[in-house]
Structure 1
Amino acid sequence: MSRHAWKNKAAAAVTFPPPLRFLIPALLLVLGLLSMWLDYELDLNNDMKRSVEDVTTQADATGRRLTSLARQHLARGEVEALREGLSEWKHEPWLRIAAVVDENGRVLASSIPEWEGHLAEETPAAGAWKRARENQDKIMEAPALDSRDVIVLAAFPIQLPSQRSSCLLLVYDRADAVVHAHEDARRRMAWSASVIALMCLCLWATLHFGVASRLERLARSVREFGEGRAVNIEPVRGGDEVHELSQAFKKMTARLADREKERAELERAVIDSAENERRRIGHELHDGIGQQLTAVLMSINGLHDELQARVPALADHARHASQSLRETLAEVRALSHGLAPVPLWKQGLQHALQALADATTRSSGVRCVFECPDNITVANEATACNLYRIAQEAVNNALKHADPGEIRIGLECRGESLVLEIDDDGCGLPEAPSEAGGIGFRIMQHRTEMMGGRMEHGAPPAGGTRIAVHIPNLL
């Protein structure tokens, strides 16, 4: 996996802790659901407690009435009337069974006729009868058999003067009520959980689309501006602090752009001034000192001819002086051409680049060729000088670092661009020039930017190094 792909994969991975736009709604959702569960338990317990209290109250009232009724019927021996009286209570809410048992535990009368004559241990009132035998007083108990079943047991002793004591047993079952209580509590919890989840979703959407995504767009715009892939920062819409922050960044980039423009103009002025001074010195060397040396050379040549005729012994001195002066004149001309390489005549840049290639071949022994398939005229003297200086710097870099066998300088028009290429077949640079921080590379790049173009560097198919400069074709 490449380094760039690894960075993209790492950026796309989920980070921990998660962003606040996910963390805050998630925490609120968890806390909301926890509070709803606690509220559910509290409501359910309260409902169960109220249910037991209601049934106990009802059992006590019913027990008192049925005890009085049973006492009256048993005192008169009206067992059948007692049975009819108990059967009338079988439709009382939550009453499971009401039974009158004798001292031996046999059911004398019951709200459910099929249990009459059976022992109390065999009926649904077995628990109430067991507790009645353990305690001769009134018993009111509400043992919770499980979370879905609440039983209330009641036992009322029936004291008869002339007979043995009997007992009224009551069993209340609130299983259905408990089920409904659970269902109501779950329904309330489900509705509350849905509302909390919806509110957390709305909060996440607000944080994500209203804040985080806008901050991400602002951060991406600032990052692109910092990396040089954007010239300004697009403001983020809205009327909050994010919008104000984007406006502040936009103003800052505008000020930076103005300063960068001013700096570029100053640099361009400095480079133009330096180029003008170079050309002035070159012209002075060519037209001033060069002409004077040429005149002196002609005088020495005339002196040599005269000494050859009159004093042959001194003619060699004149010849040596003429040769030295000729070499000096050649160096002055070469220096003047280096300072002012691109004259403003037709195909001046082509001639200058061809002269650069020829001079490189002569001075270094490395074959340097210039290729230009079309006649290209660069009327702007500053552009021509910048292209020549870029080619000159690229050739010098190739000779210093690449150990090439051949260097190629190419100039051609490609669509809307004028392209200058310098290739070599050497070993190439150990690092990219921009990373190595070479001053020559930065100067070439700066000259390219001054012309409104772009510079590329890399390796041609055959190996080595290639510098390519693309500028708008304004010819």
Structure 2
Amino acid sequence: MNFPPPLRFLIPALLLLLGIVSTWLDYELDLANDLERDFKDVSTQAEATGVRLAALARHHLAQALGQGGLKAGQGELKALSDNLSDWKHEPWLSIAAVVDENGKVMACSSVEWEGKAAEETPAAQVWKRARVGYTKIMESSTLEGGDMIVLAAFPLQVTPQGRERLLLVFDHANAVAHAHQDARQRVAWSAAVIALMCLCLWATLHFGVATRLERLARSVREFGEGRAISIDPVRGGDEVHELSQAFRKMTQRLADRERERNELERAVIDSAENERRRIGHELHDGIGQQLTAVLMAINGLHAELQASAPAFAEHAQHASQSLSATLAEVRALSHGLAPVPLWDQGLEHALQALADATTRSSGLRCVFECPEHIKEVSEATACNLYRIAQEAVNNALKHADSAEIRIGLERRDAFLVLEIDDDGCGLPEAPADGGGIGFRIMQHRTEVMGGRMEHGAPPAGGTRIAVYIPYPP
């Protein structure tokens, strides 16, 4: 996958990230609000519980003093401890202890701390604050682990000289844990819902848009590369479907224009070929015959001059030789414009004649190979193949600097293959970028026949032009 990723991945990912970040911020805000609310609840609960336990402690201490003093009233202190133990299950209450003025525990919600100094109990922090003055204390504190507690101290003052106190410790850790747990559950549920929505969004973008656009792009690319003749429509009722329909109509118009262009170009080629044939015939039958007659007359004149005026006979001989050369050029030109073997004897004989004529005119070795007889080739196809071979041979003579040229014609599977090989310097890079006019004409003739043309180098080096046209067995 390239970076940045496609929108069908990027958009859901960004939305998921933003959703998780916003959920986390909401979690932090909710957690802070929950902790503040829970702390207020703990403080309110501590105030109410402290008032009730202080009244209970005063009652038991007054009963003990009425029985002859605190030492004589051990039963009342024991009852006070039992009552404090019953209150131990009060939400958030960690310890409740009644201490004397020296900080000795007289009654406690936990029996193991009775008779011990307050500094040794979990109420040590509240005792340190309470012993400074004989006043009511209600404050919060934070432990090393980050847990919050509420410390409370209530003066009992059973007697005017009494300095007893009720010490309370309310642990906020459970409330904090519950708040964290609730907040985490909300985050988890919110993240799950956001992830599910992003998944649905990705599925919509991927299967509903991206996949269909990719199918459309592949169809357009295949059409542009010539591997398809039309564009398959994409189903649906949205803009992608409308875009595919627009592309389909465009390709149909292009196909119609291409067909019209091919028909027009085929007509132009046929017209040009007919004109070439007419000119060739005119050169052969008209000017050629006239030049032949003039040559015969000059030859007759030469014979007479040798007998009557030998001094002028040499001039007649030079004129005869020049006219013979001109007549040969006219015949060669007429055969090039309208090759007689092509029209009279077929493609194979025309290609063989082309090879023989090339050998005679250029001095290079040009051979024609045809492993089996090729039948049922239309006149238009034969003409195009001959012209392609003629152009390729001329190119090899002009540019390849070769010593041998091979013209091959054979049937391979469902194709008729024409190959022109040479052992020269190889094909330049120009044909890959469009080539010259001759190369483009050869390629166009191949396309008119519904085939394809390939160019490259044979194993032995040089240049090879290969034309494949459909030729069913």
Q: Report how far residue 441 of structure 1 moved.
A: 1.0
Please give the alpha-carbon distance, in whole angstroms, between the structure 1 residues aligned to 2:33 and 2:162: 42
Match in the other structure for 2:54: 67
Residue 52 (structure 1) aligned with residue 26 (structure 2): no
Please give the alpha-carbon distance, in whole angstroms, between the structure 2 residues aligned to 1:90 and 1:379: 111
Unaligned runs of 5+ in 1: 1-13
Please give the alpha-carbon distance, in whole angstroms, between the structure 1 residues aligned to 2:59 and 2:410: 129
- Select the residue among 2, 13, 18 that pairs with 1:31: 18
CA contact (8 A) 2:430 2:436 kept: no
Match in the other structure for 1:134: 132
| Structure 2 counterpart of 1:19, one-letter code | P
- Select the residue among 424, 438, 453 that pairs with 1:440: 438
Match in the other structure for 1:87: 85
- Select the residue among 181, 205, 210 that pairs with 2:179: 181
Q: Report how far residue 469 of structure 1 moved.
A: 0.8
Match in the other structure for 1:160: 158
- Select the residue among 182, 188, 193 that pairs with 1:195: 193
CA deviations 1:208-257 (Å, max 9, x no partner) are 22212222222222223223333222222221111111111111111111
Q: Report how far residue 155 of structure 1 moved.
A: 0.5
CA deviations 1:288-331 (Å, max 9, x no partner) are 22223333334444444555566666555544444333333222
**3-state secondary structure, aligned to 2:87:** coil
Residue 40 (structure 1) aligned with residue 27 (structure 2): yes
Identify if the C-alpha distance between structure 1 residues 474 and 44 changes in structure 2 by more than 3 Å, giving closer, same or farther. Answer: closer
Deviates more, 1:290-299 or 1:407-416: 290-299
Please give the alpha-carbon distance, in whole angstroms, between the structure 2 residues aligned to 1:259 and 1:447: 18
**Number of positions where the alignment pairs a residue of Structure 1 with one of Structure 2:** 462
Match in the other structure for 2:69: none
Residue 457 (structure 1) aligned with residue 455 (structure 2): yes
CA contact (8 A) 2:134 2:163 kept: no
Please give the alpha-carbon distance, in whole angstroms, between the structure 1 residues aligned to 2:387 and 2:331: 18
Please give the alpha-carbon distance, in whole angstroms, between the structure 1 residues aligned to 2:308 and 2:83: 175
Match in the other structure for 1:101: 99
Match in the other structure for 1:7: none
**3-state secondary structure, aligned to 1:152:** strand
**3-state secondary structure, aligned to 1:163:** coil
Please give the alpha-carbon distance, in whole angstroms, between the structure 1 residues aligned to 2:216 and 2:353: 52
Give the alignment's TM-score, normalised by structure 2.
Answer: 0.91
CA contact (8 A) 2:12 2:199 kept: yes
CA deviations 1:156-213 (Å, max 9, x no partner) are 1112344322111111224333323322222221122122112112211221222122
CA contact (8 A) 2:351 2:386 kept: yes
| Structure 2 counterpart of 1:115, one-letter code | W
What are the equivalent positions in structure 2 for 1:160-239 lying under 5 Å apart?
160-239=158-237
Q: Report how far residue 262 of structure 1 moved.
A: 1.1
Aligned-residue sequence identity (percent) comes to 77
CA contact (8 A) 2:341 2:349 kept: no
Unaligned runs of 5+ in 2: 66-72
Deviates more, 1:274-283 or 1:465-474: 465-474
CA deviations 1:412-471 (Å, max 9, x no partner) are 222322111100011102325232622211110000111111111111111111001111
| Structure 2 counterpart of 1:247, one-letter code | Q
Please give the alpha-carbon distance, in whole angstroms, between the structure 2 residues aligned to 1:206 and 1:443: 50
Please give the alpha-carbon distance, in whole angstroms, between the structure 1 residues aligned to 2:20 and 2:121: 45
